[in-house]
Structure 1
């Protein structure tokens, strides 16, 4: 059967983009193109293109041949040290992709935008929970909002539609990702075990008992395709989560048990500081347990771990809108962590 849908996955190597490509390949009725600064290894179903999305000339050179694209799945992200500095590069990358593809792809149907709870101001402090898609906005800067406003304005009078997906913290196994909490916990736990230490929650004491939700990257992939291929989802935003809530004070001891470790009371420790000098420890663990020789810097984003573990306020959204419109997938968050830890062991990223 000839595939008549062509997906352009922007940010193909990230935890979101890589799982989206894997799901599209499983479906079997998509042509897939992955965009990334690092490129990728082509498969029978996916072709990768190395492109600098901030370079307009490089974008034109690499994207102008992509006349068959029907769906853009935008999950690219460039990290910056301040909220205001995030706006320009992340908006520019989206604008470059959309302007070029729209000008040459006559059959463009849909543009999917990946967002997050920053839309609700969750990164600033306590926010209204459960957050809903129609909650009021907050004072800029916020690149997620600017990106959506660009799509809303640009789509007026066009045949293509857009959707915005708003996951919570995303769980996955992709390496070299600036926001991979599963990998943060896995490396921190296995290194603690190697040093003969119990597993301590390193965040703020107030964060240990607050409610939060998580989004599995595989479930997010399914939701993303669902929203992009169902007309009732057109031009709307959707919160996408696993469907349950966790508290670290309940889950943390279970994580310790998974790694066959004792658990000790929480102790606030900045991971960026205490883990900064542990590259030699990890290198010796790679040799001892015959692990893949991934660089220590690419294995874990300690700053993101500090960020998540500092949330001493409830952090969750209302996901009922997607369910009302037909998306009923869910996954138990506790099992998600264990499954992903198993996958990291299988990939020889952490000791088995």
Structure 2
């Protein structure tokens, strides 16, 4: 019989964390504690703790009573303007969590780290595809690499092991997140429809035909739990992807049809710029369609959308290592988008 498992989800309110909490809560043998800056509403299987992870004293104080934690799932992230500026806060948050939980949680078995393709230099420009977990590193700065090195060093002197998950762009529904592409597309399409204009792909010309992949948040949650509990995955990193590839040139017209929109030739434009004045229109759209009063800032991830739509190079990795180790789930990316749009419509976020 498996021992009792208590998950500490660090970053429980983001796109990845929200789905991970849901996945863990759906399993019969887990209890869940969620950490985030603003906390959350407790439920029978999940309790939330508000904490400032950049403050080591606050982190120690808030985690001091969590003696029953067996698994840490670290999915927190703080954005900064430059790659170099990302390193200190994101490394410090992870270090503060481990420093706080390790002395009190004597039954700690595993620390799971959420990474991404920045490990391969995907954010810097064209990189080797398909990327593989054993590809050589690139010049720093890169906080994902520093975080993994910290876990490798710390776990070597401890009784717990670690894993690192490397998803592509994550598709999910959580609002107020700086990296939520699907919600951005849904709002862009809804506003385009309200204005009576076709849905134009706004990225670089070459990006329309490059090969990409995505990672469904639900799939990623399942993979994260698998890696944290499977002996075959201990002390390793894994690319986690939906399992299919696509080009915007093929998928974009299908997404437009879902919104009953025509498409027109791509036109490169910054969504952060052209959508900056659309908040009044968004409020009018909300009133006209009796939508939830979601703040415009919480549904718009324009800088991230611009970043993704600017990839005029192939962007994908080899996910076979996870399959060889025992994780065989997959998701159709087109169906993933439709599912997200349907959820947003059902929850009255978009018309």
For 1:174, the equivalent position in structure 2 comes to 174
For 1:125, the equivalent position in structure 2 comes to 125
* Distance across 1 between alignment mates of 2:26 and 2:153: 34
For 1:8, the equivalent position in structure 2 comes to 8
What displacement does 1:57 show? 1.2
In the alignment, does 2:262 pair up with 1:262?
yes
* Distance across 2 between alignment mates of 1:258 and 1:340: 12
**Contact 2:60–2:101 under 8 Å retained in 1:** no
**Structure 2 unaligned residues grouped into runs of 5+:** none
In the alignment, does 2:312 pair up with 1:312?
yes
**SS of residue matched to 1:316:** coil
Deviations 1:71-102 (Å, cap 9, x if unpaired)? Answer: 00000000000000000000000000011111
* Distance across 2 between alignment mates of 1:318 and 1:240: 9
What displacement does 1:163 show? 0.2
**Contact 1:3–1:30 under 8 Å retained in 2:** no
* Distance across 2 between alignment mates of 1:186 and 1:329: 26
* Distance across 2 between alignment mates of 1:109 and 1:205: 48
For 2:93, the equivalent position in structure 1 comes to 93
**Contact 1:202–1:309 under 8 Å retained in 2:** yes
In the alignment, does 2:89 pair up with 1:109?
no
What displacement does 1:182 show? 0.3
What displacement does 1:145 show? 0.4
**Structure 1 unaligned residues grouped into runs of 5+:** none
What displacement does 1:103 show? 0.9
For 1:143, the equivalent position in structure 2 comes to 143
What displacement does 1:56 show? 1.1
Q: Give the alignment's TM-score, normalised by structure 1.
A: 0.99
* Distance across 2 between alignment mates of 1:2 and 1:50: 30
What displacement does 1:2 show? 10
**Contact 2:116–2:167 under 8 Å retained in 1:** yes
**SS of residue matched to 2:102:** helix
The equivalences for 1:1-352 within 5 A come to 4-351=4-351
What displacement does 1:157 show? 3.0
* Distance across 2 between alignment mates of 1:225 and 1:326: 12
* Distance across 2 between alignment mates of 1:272 and 1:191: 14
Runs (4 or more) in structure 1 with deviation over 3 Å come to none
**SS of residue matched to 2:103:** helix
* Distance across 2 between alignment mates of 1:126 and 1:2: 45
Q: Give the alignment's TM-score, normalised by structure 2.
A: 0.99
Number of residue-to-residue matches in the alignment: 351
* Distance across 2 between alignment mates of 1:347 and 1:223: 27
Task: Provide closer, same or farther for how the CA distance between residues 305 and 217 of structure 1 changes in structure 2, counting only shifts above 3 A.
Answer: same
Deviations 1:238-261 (Å, cap 9, x if unpaired)? Answer: 000000001000000000110001
**SS of residue matched to 2:31:** strand
What displacement does 1:232 show? 1.0
